[in-house]
Amino acid sequence: MTAGSNNWFERAKRVIPGGVNSPVRAFNAVGGDPLYVVSGAGARIHTEAGRELLDFCGSWGPLVLGHSHPAVIDAIKQAADKGTSFGINTPREVEFAERLCEMAGIEKVRLVNSGTEATMTAVRLARGATGRSKIIKFAGCYHGHSDGLLVAAGSGLMTGGVTSSAGVSDAVAAEVFVPEYNDLDAVIAIVEAHGDELAAIILEPIAANMGLVLPDAGFLEGLRAAADRCGAILIFDEVITGFRLGPTTYASQCGVSPDLICLGKIIGGGLPIGAVGGRAAVMDHLAPLGEVYQAGTLSGNPVAVAAGLTTLHLLASEPPYARMAALAARLADETNAAAQAAGIPLHVAVKESLFTPFFSDSPIHNYTDAKGCDTKRHAAFFHAMLDAGIYLPPSQFEVGFVNAAHTDVDIDQFVSAATAGLP
């Protein structure tokens, strides 16, 4: 697969590190040259090379309504006509914050510009509110690229983690404990040994950055109890799951209430945005009320807020969730049946409109399980699907998305291509 007739990738590599502005776009996990997209509509994207592809990546989650939804595009145009940025308060950002609080079940919210900013702010806020410095995060849960969250599991639970990126100091990594996702006993052991040092426990309540991994029964409830026991702040990173499984957060659906929730992706309708919200008693530690500083020139950007408000309105007034879930379930069930009939070690994990094809003989419960998947087989599957006109996230460790623009015919196309392309 070439990058297009104008050698965009070669041109990009001369002026952009690695030729991409986000590493996973480089196709390093699957091989080959990356795509260049010029437009999208509904469930399809169009490449610079002239191909039409059925898209199950959806800009990595934000496009729950599909590409270029007319109402969202109209809201963007109307907002842009009045000005793209002011650096001054606007009425619409207040309306947006009110809507988020109502739908997400939170007391206060601060708007930022990305999921990374949201999680970074949440951790700083937890440290400021508790006066403590250490945190627990989980192996395989990705929370953006701020220093303290780019940490992988160390050799032992009772020591700090090791950095998973150059440029992250050992001192920063030493502040982070990294147990396995779904290992509640490990969390309890850390709390027993270091509870009075813990500022926060942060996780994706449904893991979506080692592929789709669901929490075991009682895991999230156990984390709530562990945080309460030691006085730490429980943070749910719902940048992916927020408004993906219903017109609210997963926290509201599962009945476990974190102290802080991080949001992004869907709430911006495809434009850059993020938010951190939660209990007023914690949120009020943010400046200008409190001593925890956070600021952003473009925070509450009027164009992003307009797209987000329109998206949230449509998700509440015309909820697509039941239909998306039914489509994703059929995608998974029929692909799994084809793989089983062919004797291929493939299991498509699914939760509502999220899915991941895992090339593994065993169920995936944590990062160690995920790393045991056959990534070469996944790469072959990715390219077989791409050749058949279907675009999937180019990594074994990402989730795919069924969006409101997908149809039964699209699922038929997916299953047919998957059956023919099983490696």
Q: Which of 108, 265, 351, 410 is catalytic?
A: 265
User: Are 234 and 203 in contact, with CB atoms under 8 Å apart?
Assistant: no
Quick one: which of 143, 346, 356 has its CA closest to 264? Answer: 143
Does residue 82 have an active-site annotation? no
Q: For strand 260-264 and strand 233-237, is the pairing parallel, antiparallel, or unpaired?
A: parallel
Q: For strand 52-55 and strand 390-391, is the pairing parallel, antiparallel, or unpaired?
A: parallel
| Cis before 288? omega within 30 | yes
Does residue 142 have an active-site annotation? yes
Q: The tokens of 214 are what? A: 């669901």
User: Are 129 and 292 in contact, with CB atoms under 8 Å apart?
Assistant: yes
Does residue 108 have an active-site annotation? no
Q: Which of 134, 142, 183, 374 is catalytic?
A: 142
Q: Which of 55, 134, 181, 237 is catalytic?
A: 237
Active site residues: 142, 237, 265
